[in-house]
Chains A and B, each alone.
Chain A
Amino acid sequence: MTRTEIRLGGLGGQGIIKSAVIIGEAASIHDGKEAVQTASYGPESRGSACKAEVIISDTPVDYPLVLTPHIMVALSNDAFHKYKNDLGEGAIAIIDSDLVKAGKIKPGVQVYQVTAATTAHNVLKNPLVTNVVMLGAFTAITKIVTPEAMQKAIANAFPRYRELNLRAFDEGMKLGQEALEQSSKTK
């Protein structure tokens, strides 16, 4: 598959757009692929619905918007249920099980549950890094970007809180590995 469409959904203030920018930078600048990032754009602010998208490809990206996401990352219940039916056959959804109740989902979609918010709060002692924990899980589960590229992009994105965010990324990678192992056991 040369074009991978990624949608991230959640609430304004959770770092949804920032996460998409980090994925895009990791893919295009550090992994040398092609990437385009776009975001929902309106007068909304903190607490309202927020959507960001990234397309990663081996060849230049033409149409810049997501049509049928291959990967969805959801950090709010509303976002997950709003977008779950857009997912295509073979798509994967990565959700924060503290924030999202998956319920029934259409066949052909693999759901991975990680506890990003709890890990940010309990392990990293800072709920602000929930999105970066999620980026770690995303990297481990999808393998669409390399961990090294993500680490570089995260370090660039948070120069003042570099160490904290890199630790959050590592914790997220572990959660992602666990979710992968869990799903291979249940198969």
Chain B
Amino acid sequence: MEKPILTGEMFTQGDIAAAEGALAAGCRFFAGYPITPATEIAERMAYRLPRIGGRYIQMEDEIASCTAVVGASYSGLKAMTATSGPGVSLMNETIGLAAMTEAPMVLVNVMRGGPSTGQPTEASQSDIMQAKWGSHGDYEIIALIPSSVQEMFDLTIRAFNLSEQYRVPTFVLADEIIGHMRERLIIPPEDELEIINRKKPTVPPEEYLPFKPETDLVPPMATFGEGYHFYATGLTHDQKGYPVMTDEAQLALVPRLCDKIRKNADKITQAESTETEDAEILLVAYGGEARTAMRAVKDARAEGMKIGLFRPISVWPFPKDQLKDAAANAQQVIVAELNYGQLVGEVERIIRNEVPVHFIPRVCGTPHTPDELMKEIRRRIK
């Protein structure tokens, strides 16, 4: 048996870091279908999982992959899949099932250019809204966006922790830039990693109600085969898990599925503010694009311009209080995304009454260059 946690330093790709983060978090099941630019995750898991007592299955398509992950989750394993936008389109039906049945699972989407099969080998950030709204009905998910190889590792662990804690499908939304670039990855010793496991029932099987929430709105989760007989369905269900088609059942279930995330948002949201205290212009960028924005902040500061950067790390739930703080002294906000306008809508919704919000889109293959952002900053500062 090989070691599940490869403590030490390595120079590696973001995709590989996500796979290693999953293994460090305790993931022991992967079902997937290879797709550029996420294939290296599947490849790494196919190599590593059988050597540490886990299971890797290459399924016939993405629909089956995601469904197998839900099944594995109910069998008590930490389970994941990795894909790109077109794969998520196929998985959305089962992501809804995972949300409704409260199956913890992690889904890494290494975003590429869309719509449809789009630009397989090019970077993009155009699945931000797909992650939130991909399946039908009212539900919430969690989505984290890494900006470095190290964060691919760290945030994949956090994605598993949040997914287990809140019993909710959790996305790692990477872009091709971060997925394929190589940087130093530091994997800490096992005892320095914070790992959260799902709550298990403390009552005997005959008293167990599989969908009865505790005060955090999350029900403890038994594993199939442990003697806790229960039923899980995509239909509206009561606390016993059986389909009930009443208003009362829908009212007891659907708001809770949303509120367990919304009411715990302060514990989930994550963001980074750089040089924002006196910033007159606030840049907002995330993922690979934030690397350009970070450079623009340095270049602009060197020229004496008061520029700061707000980087949402959780995009869902969106760190709105952190954004308001970062924009407190800003006269203008510039949102830069590798898409034609997605997260900018959320930024506008939160702060447009206080400060004007501008947007610079980019819909082709690589992030903005530092010069392109500087040009926009100079234009706005006049």
Contact = CB atoms under 8 A, between A and B. Distances in A.
Interface of A: 21, 24-25, 28-29, 34-39, 41-43, 61-65, 67
Given A29-B9, A39-B180, A62-B291, 15 more contacts: A28-B183, A35-B184, A36-B183, A37-B181, A38-B181, A41-B37, A43-B121, A62-B294, A63-B291, A63-B367, A63-B369, A63-B370, A64-B291, A65-B366, A65-B367
Given A28-B184, A29-B10, A38-B180, A64 B288 contact: yes
B369 A24 contact: no
8 contacts: A24-B11, A29-B9, A29-B11, A36-B181, A38-B177, A41-B121, A63-B292, A65-B366
Contacts of A35: 11, 183-184
Contacts of B366: 65
Contacts of A62: 291-292, 294-295, 298
B182 interface: yes
B183 A63 contact: no
A141 to B, nearest CB: 22
Given A35-B11, A63-B292, A42 B182 contact: no
Interface of B: 9-11, 37, 121, 176-177, 180-184, 288, 291-292, 294-295, 298, 366-367, 369-370
Nearest to B180: A41
A27 to B, nearest CB: 9
A115 B369 CA distance: 36
Q: Which 7 A-B pairs have the closest CB atoms?
A: A25-B11, A62-B295, A62-B294, A37-B182, A63-B295, A28-B184, A42-B121
A43 to B, nearest CB: 7
Nearest to B292: A63
Nearest to A26: B11
Contacts of B9: 29
Contacts of B184: 28-29, 34-35
Contacts, number: 57
Contacts of A28: 11, 183-184
Nearest to A17: B182
A35 to B, nearest CB: 7
Given A21-B11, A29-B10, A42-B121, A67 B369 contact: yes
A64 B149 CA distance: 12
B11 A64 contact: no
Nearest to B10: A29
A30 to B, nearest CB: 9
Contacts of A25: 11
Contacts of A43: 121
B176 to A, nearest CB: 8
Contacts of A29: 9-11, 184
Question: Max chain B CB contacts within 10 Å: which of A21, A43, A65?
Answer: A65
A22 to B, nearest CB: 9
A51 to B, nearest CB: 13
B180 A64 contact: no
Contacts of B10: 29
B177 A64 contact: yes
Contacts of A38: 177, 180-182
Nearest to B184: A28
A25 B149 CA distance: 14
A63 B370 CA distance: 7
Contacts of B369: 63, 65, 67
Contacts of A67: 369-370
Question: Max chain B CB contacts within 10 Å: which of A28, A39, A62, A67?
Answer: A62
Contacts of B183: 24, 28, 35-37, 61
A61 B9 CA distance: 17
A62 to B, nearest CB: 4
A172 B74 CA distance: 57
B182 A21 contact: yes
Question: Max chain A CB contacts within 10 Å: which of B183, B288, B366, B367?
Answer: B183
B198 to A, nearest CB: 35
A139 B220 CA distance: 58
Nearest to B294: A62
Contacts of A64: 177, 181, 288, 291
Question: Max chain A CB contacts within 10 Å: which of B184, B292, B295, B369?
Answer: B184
A62 B290 CA distance: 8
Nearest to A23: B11
Contacts of B181: 36-38, 64
B362 to A, nearest CB: 13
A35 B185 CA distance: 11
A41 B369 CA distance: 18
A24 B292 contact: no
Nearest to B183: A36
A67 B11 CA distance: 22
Contacts of A37: 11, 181-183
A25 B12 CA distance: 8
